[in-house]
Chain A
Amino acid sequence: MQAPSSSMQLLRWFVFSLVLLVPVAAVQAEDDFLSEEDLYGDFEEEAVFAVSDPLESINRATFKFNDFVYVKVMQPISNGYQKVTPDPVEKGASNFFANLGYPVRLVGNLLQLELKGAWLETERFAVNTTLGIVGVRRAAAQFERLQPRQPEDVGLAFGAWGIGDGPYLVLPFLGPSNCRDLVGLVGDRAVNPLKSPYSVIEEYQWQLALDATEVIVKSPTLLDIYMQLKDGAIDPYSAMKNGYAQKRRSMIEEE
């Protein structure tokens, strides 16, 4: 009997492979793509992402009030500030106030027993305050070991302890929050020696001047974030509510 030629062998292999592979490919074709249910069904985190909002009508009214204040009052002040202030000065002022937030970040870390984070914040504060001339320059950024971590606060620490968001709140002037973060905000102020009620600044007018300056210095960044979330939104109130909740939950999960 004559042995099959090599071309015959190749043809057999080809036919055999085809017979074997076509069903495999067919089965695979179905499994390889996301199904309608996968894509459009009630699934994943978006479906379960709920924000409790029992005070919606009050919140919406406060949101409207805040929107007026931000757009009609703060925006012109912020634009004016940016116009008259050279970029390096603007940056220096922003760094200065960010540095003053150290006690809040420290306590936020300590409440979560994040000793490494607390120590890093302390080192950064020391370097920025000394080499960075009272925090105007971000001197710590020059050291690889002292790169900033996610800023902590008391509300985030409560979240890390497992305390839920609670009802969503819109605070006059301050904007989106929730019950947990409102209590956290009181804690943030209590541990900050430059904020009332336990401020080391005794003169009322100096306290007011410091607070007002801080608001103006931070306003370009805050308004930028606000406008980004608002632009393109079908319902700016809902967009802000969801955006705030998502951001805070992600910060808590990252810890």
Chain B
Amino acid sequence: MKIWMIIAGLAFCLAAPLYSQEGEADKLNNAMSAALDVLYLDAYQEYSYEQRQAAVKVLLEDNYDLTVIIRRALARNWRLMSAQEQVRVTDLIERLIVKAYIEGMAGQERPEIDCGKTIEITDKRIEIPVVIRFPSGKIFNVVYRLGRLQSGWQIYDIVGEDISMVSNYRQQFDDHFRKGNGQELIEKLEDLLNKGELDASTKL
């Protein structure tokens, strides 16, 4: 009896981390739905463009540590920047991601999100396939790659239609840092954020 209980205890202890990924697909689904709510629910209709940006940013930060994916995209270039530049660049990229999301959805009807079954790559890495269906008939296949960190499961890459976001941004940063530096990157990001903003009254 004692041996049986110890074995059961050990098995539970060893298996617990594996089971803890089970809620990740639901968490991702909820986070994506909540981000869509900000754009489509009547409750947010009076929100200005900036308020929407802020709401989506808070939502993302509450659910995931975006620094992980941003730092991975910057890769070796991260070390080429000062600590202040790293903080500033991270913040600007977060805002750029949110801006691209909000502007990308402008004029589109609310899509349906279908999170598939979690695929375990290793005990520290999982993938969640997501199908995004727009009422117009457009379908996007996206795979969210998550890694197990001390802070919980964090998104470390997003692969949309076979194109890795981390790899794509890494190429852009590599090309920038071949000739430029952190300060120039900050200026570039600020320019991107300041240009072509949607009008506050724009209905999505």
Q: Which stretch of A13-21, A97-105, A186-194 is in the interface? A: A13-21
A49 interfacial by beta-carbon distance below 8 Å = yes
B161 interfacial by beta-carbon distance below 8 Å = yes
Minimum C-beta distance from B109 to chain A (A)? 14
Question: What sequence of 0s and 1s flags, for each residue 1-45 of chain B, a beta carbon within 8 Å of any chain A beta carbon?
Answer: 010011001100110010000000000000000000000000000
Chain B neighbourhood of A239, CB < 8 A:
168-169, 171-172
Of residues 202 through 255 on chain A, the ones whose CB sits less than 8 Å from some CB of chain B are 224, 228-229, 231-235, 237-239, 241-243, 246-247, 250-251
Of residues 18 through 58 on chain A, the ones whose CB sits less than 8 Å from some CB of chain B are 20-21, 24-25, 28, 32-34, 38-40, 42, 45-47, 49, 51
Are A40 and B5 within 8 A (Cβ)? no
Chain A neighbourhood of B13, CB < 8 A:
21, 24-25, 28
Q: Which of A13, A46, A246 contacts B6 (CB 8 A)?
A: A13
B167 interfacial by beta-carbon distance below 8 Å = yes
Minimum C-beta distance from A246 to chain B (A)? 5
Are A46 and B166 within 8 A (Cβ)? yes
Are A40 and B171 within 8 A (Cβ)? no
Question: What sequence of 0s and 1s flags, for each residue 139-169 of chain B, a beta carbon within 8 Å of any chain A beta carbon?
Answer: 0000000011110000011000111101111
Are A51 and B171 within 8 A (Cβ)? yes
B123 interfacial by beta-carbon distance below 8 Å = yes
A235 and B176 in contact, given A20-B6, A20-B10, A40-B78 (Cβ under 8 angstroms): yes
Are B72 and A40 within 8 A (Cβ)? yes
A46 and B170 in contact, given A232-B97, A246-B162, A246-B163 (Cβ under 8 angstroms): yes
B76 interfacial by beta-carbon distance below 8 Å = yes
- A218 and B114 CA atoms in complex are apart in Å by 28
Question: What sequence of 0s and 1s flags, for each residue 168-202 of chain B, a beta carbon within 8 Å of any chain A beta carbon?
Answer: 11111111100000000100110010000000000
Q: Is the interface of A mostly helix, strand, loop or mixed?
A: helix
Q: Is the interface of B mostly helix, strand, loop or mixed?
A: helix
B71 interfacial by beta-carbon distance below 8 Å = yes
Chain B neighbourhood of A49, CB < 8 A:
167, 170-171
Q: Which of B138, B163, B166 contacts A247 (CB 8 A)?
A: B163
Of residues 56 through 110 on chain B, the ones whose CB sits less than 8 Å from some CB of chain A are 68, 71-72, 75-76, 78, 96-97, 99-100, 103-104
B124 interfacial by beta-carbon distance below 8 Å = yes
Are A242 and B168 within 8 A (Cβ)? yes
Q: Which of B162, B167, B185 contacts A46 (CB 8 A)?
A: B167
Minimum C-beta distance from B78 to chain A (A)? 7
Minimum C-beta distance from B75 to chain A (A)? 7
Are B162 and A234 within 8 A (Cβ)? no
B133 interfacial by beta-carbon distance below 8 Å = no
Which residues of chain B have a CB within 8 Å of any CB of chain A?
2, 5-6, 9-10, 13-14, 17, 68, 71-72, 75-76, 78, 96-97, 99-100, 103-104, 123-125, 138, 147-150, 156-157, 161-164, 166-176, 185, 188-189, 192
Could you pull out 24 A-B pairs where Cβ atoms are within 8 angstroms?
A: A13-B2, A20-B6, A21-B9, A24-B10, A25-B13, A32-B124, A34-B125, A34-B147, A39-B156, A40-B72, A46-B75, A231-B100, A231-B103, A232-B96, A233-B172, A234-B173, A235-B172, A238-B175, A242-B171, A243-B168, A246-B167, A246-B168, A247-B162, A247-B163
Which residues of chain A have a CB within 8 Å of any CB of chain B?
9, 13, 16-17, 20-21, 24-25, 28, 32-34, 38-40, 42, 45-47, 49, 51, 224, 228-229, 231-235, 237-239, 241-243, 246-247, 250-251
Known: A24-B13, A234-B192. 17 other contacts (CB 8 A): A20-B6, A20-B10, A33-B148, A34-B125, A39-B71, A40-B71, A40-B72, A49-B170, A232-B104, A233-B172, A234-B169, A238-B171, A239-B171, A239-B172, A242-B163, A246-B163, A250-B163
